[in-house]
Structure 1
Amino acid sequence: MKWNEHTTGQRIKLLRGAVTQEELAEKAGLSIATIRKAEQDRGHISLPTLLRLAHALGADISVIVGQQAPRRAMLADDRTTLRELSRTVHDTAAGIGTDREPVDFADDLVAGWDAYRAGRIGVAGQFAASCVRDAATVLADAAEDRRMVACGVLADAYRLAAYVANQLGARDLAYAAIGHAANRARQGGDPVREACVASGRSWVYLRDARLDDAERTADISYTSIEPAYSDRDPVLLATYGWHVTFAAVVAARRGNTVAAEDLLSQGFAAAARLGRDVMVNGTAFGPAAVTAQALGIAVSTGKAGKALNLAKEVHDWSSLHQAAQNRLQLDIALAQCDTRQYDTCLDTLLTVCKEHPEWVRHQTLPGVIAQRAGYATTARSRKVAKIIGATLA
């Protein structure tokens, strides 16, 4: 039987293995009754409960809901891209294949990040492989006075590779690439770039359900670049604001709502000092960006009504890159589901699925939302299931 043909309860039981229900309940911080109800497929599992189960089972939520197999099935093109990316990351780290004529790849690196932020993960992976190889070649050929700059650029290329690998579920490669990015960023001597890499590592930990490590690393990412009150540099403020807001997301995932609210307030304060959304390295931060993250936090902590109210506060989300807008729509869809607006929820989800199917394939929430919107119109449910490749049992 294929992984997605099992029910969610059966998948939890299979992932639990020899661990008892009592042991899983204790590790997840849930009641035994909740574990039994989940394994018996009685009712829908809330997102906070899924997050706790994912952490305790050491698995992505997407694996629990059947959107991805434990060893993450992927399309042939994705597998080819991942194989090339893996070979390039490991070879360049060992100094293999860098004895070529250096080429100008600046536009390709920008294009790679643009593709990633637009949700075109496969294309981003192709750019990442070529940029890592080219950046490593430039570094190998760089004069002493240009090595720090070259190290910084290679760090950016490795970070893109780590993000793509993380989206494709290749966690070992993601850890390797983000580790190489950290080494090169440190050699480049740029604290802001080091903070970006630390935040990236935190995200890898988060997807791997290593919440303690994710929180610790997220804290490093923003405390290392905290601006002085008198500092008005928009790049620094935007970078700090983004990282402290992401730290709030991590705290919320751990169930530490007090810390999440405190960090979120710092993010809002940074956004207020900016007064507008500022684009830094292709990512926007400002009032719209922090509100979008606050909305996601509200959903993940079971405050669907608050999330929908936040969605009404901002009338223009265009400053957010496409992937961020897509994620925002998923959060709104989940909030609609939690408030029993099932057909509206699937309409929102279908819009994202139809317009950005490649991005959706690598996300967890579509499967969660589709399974929980069980009272929606059958035709809508089937359309969603077909796009994301998940059963809704």
Structure 2
Amino acid sequence: MQWSDYTNGQRIKILRGEDVRQSDLAEMTGLSIVTIQKAEQDKQFTLPTLMAIADALSVDTSVILGQQAPRRAMRRDDRMMLRALSQAVHDTAAGLLPDSIEAPAEARLQDAIDRCWNLYWKGHYTEAGAITAPLLAQAAAHLHTQPVGEQAEAWGLLADAYRLAAYVANLVGARDLAYAAIGHAQSAAESSADGLRPALVASGRSWVYLRDARLPAALALAEKAAVDIEPRFSKATPEQLTVYGSHVNFAAVVASRMGDKDRAAAFLSQSHATGARMGNEHRAHGTLFGPVTATTQAVGINAALGETGKALALVDAITDTSQLTEAARNRYAMDKAMAMADAKMWDASLDILEKALTEAPQWARHQALPGVIVQKVDRASTARLRRVSKLIGVRPGIDGFSPATRRTAL
């Protein structure tokens, strides 16, 4: 059934889910349990009731009325996080801070930003977004306490907080919020003293473009961001190499989604050279890069280009991914599964996919790629396929994916 095929009452019941009872919803809204029961039975549904329930469930009234479907894999805690994050992004940009906000010291604020990035790269997107919301207000308050002429570093920290908000919003499909947050990040980054931050924001905007299927714009911006910060290898710091390597790697990803083999190969060559120069993985500005990242990312890039043999050869050469973040390891598992599906290695593909979905359910429910893989192995009608399909909520042979989804499933 389509979302619009349900009644208002059925939609309320679906949105509150199994974890929220009718009595819980009554307490959350301040309505009587009888009113909640009648609303779910479509017997009584006034505008005040609609607005109270929508607010409690953290959705727009249009979602309850069936005019707009809820986002895929969006649970109540996701919706609450997204609403709080949206308010924080827009209020902070407008200079509206809570009266009770305290400005933390620079070191404490940097630690909080690092913790948020760690959560993000573990695949704990809801938790990362929930922490980023108050972090934005704290970063803005910290900026306001700095003397005029000494605000550059504070602007950089605010840019990092906005970029975190943009990444979380983009990953969960809140595209408008992602565009707003990355725009505010750009303004803050341009006022910072760090020449790498504007390029990091540009790369983030390129990712928003990619998820929005604006592939030519994504590639142009990714290329420019990489060129702007290209270091001299003989003098480059690990931090510079980390940021540059992640940029050229992402440019290769975008080129592969456009089917441009030559440009993807050129960027991959730079990515591998940067990783080799570094020798091991390094963290900087909320990202991780090194030789292992370069090689594992190349698997997905080659798979996207239809170079299945190259992708599988790289898989055979990769023996240790322990230096990667959890999200990066999970993504690599998806890329392996995709390459194996393309090679018609159905069972091996499903084994890897099922393992990743089971071990990292929080990460997996925000990913589109598992559904694409299931569609590829659909002809292998097995019990394993049915188990995997159930894990991601996709019905083999029924739920399709558009070409844009296949290209931009990151």
Establish whether TM, by shorter chain, passes 0.5. Answer: yes
Q: Aligned to 2:191, what secondary structure does the other structure show?
A: helix
Which of 351, 372, 376 is the equivalent residue of 1:372? 376
Which whole-Å deviations, capped at 9, do the CAs of 1:295-328 have from their partners, x for residues lacking one?
1111001111211110121211111111111010
Matches of 2:93 and 2:270, distance apart in 1:
37
Higher alpha-carbon deviation: 280-289 or 331-340: 280-289
Partner of 2:77: 77
Structure 2 letter corresponding to 1:306: K
Which whole-Å deviations, capped at 9, do the CAs of 1:338-370 have from their partners, x for residues lacking one?
111111111100011001111111111100011
Partner of 1:96: 96
Matches of 2:311 and 2:69, distance apart in 1:
30
| Equivalent residues of 1:283, 1:320 under 8 A apart | no
| Equivalent residues of 2:243, 2:287 under 8 A apart | no
1:350 lines up with 2:351 in the alignment: no
Give the Å deviation of 1:375.
Answer: 3.6
* Residue 254 to residue 186, structure 1, CA distance change in 2 (3 Å): same
Matches of 1:303 and 1:126, distance apart in 2:
39
Partner of 2:190: 186
Structure 1 letter corresponding to 2:380: A
Matches of 1:72 and 1:347, distance apart in 2:
24
* Residue 352 to residue 370, structure 1, CA distance change in 2 (3 Å): same
Q: Answer with 1 or 2: which has the greater Rg.
A: 2
Matches of 2:369 and 2:344, distance apart in 1:
17
Give the Å deviation of 1:144.
Answer: 2.1
If asked which structure has higher relative contact order (CA below 8 Å, sep 6+), I would say 1
Q: Aligned to 1:146, what secondary structure does the other structure show?
A: coil
Partner of 1:338: 342
Which of 297, 302, 307 is the equivalent residue of 1:298? 302
Which whole-Å deviations, capped at 9, do the CAs of 1:141-168 have from their partners, x for residues lacking one?
2222431111000100000000000011
Give the Å deviation of 1:374.
Answer: 1.7
Which of 176, 194, 201 is the equivalent residue of 1:197? 201
Matches within 5 A, 1:1-393: 1-2=1-2, 72=72, 74-97=74-97, 100-103=101-104, 104-376=108-380, 378-393=382-397
Structure 2 letter corresponding to 1:79: R
Q: Aligned to 2:159, what secondary structure does the other structure show?
A: helix
* Residue 281 to residue 311, structure 1, CA distance change in 2 (3 Å): same
Matches of 1:231 and 1:184, distance apart in 2:
28
Structure 2 unmatched runs, 5+: 6-67, 398-410
Q: Aligned to 2:396, what secondary structure does the other structure show?
A: coil
| Equivalent residues of 1:343, 1:377 under 8 A apart | no
Matches of 2:286 and 2:205, distance apart in 1:
19
Q: Aligned to 1:166, what secondary structure does the other structure show?
A: helix
* Residue 282 to residue 73, structure 1, CA distance change in 2 (3 Å): closer
* Residue 115 to residue 180, structure 1, CA distance change in 2 (3 Å): same
Structure 1 letter corresponding to 2:90: H
Give the Å deviation of 1:213.
Answer: 1.1
Matches of 1:130 and 1:376, distance apart in 2:
47
Matches of 2:216 and 2:359, distance apart in 1:
35
Matches of 1:254 and 1:287, distance apart in 2:
24
| Aligned residues with identical type, % of pairs | 49
The CA RMSD measured in Å over matched residues stands at 2.0
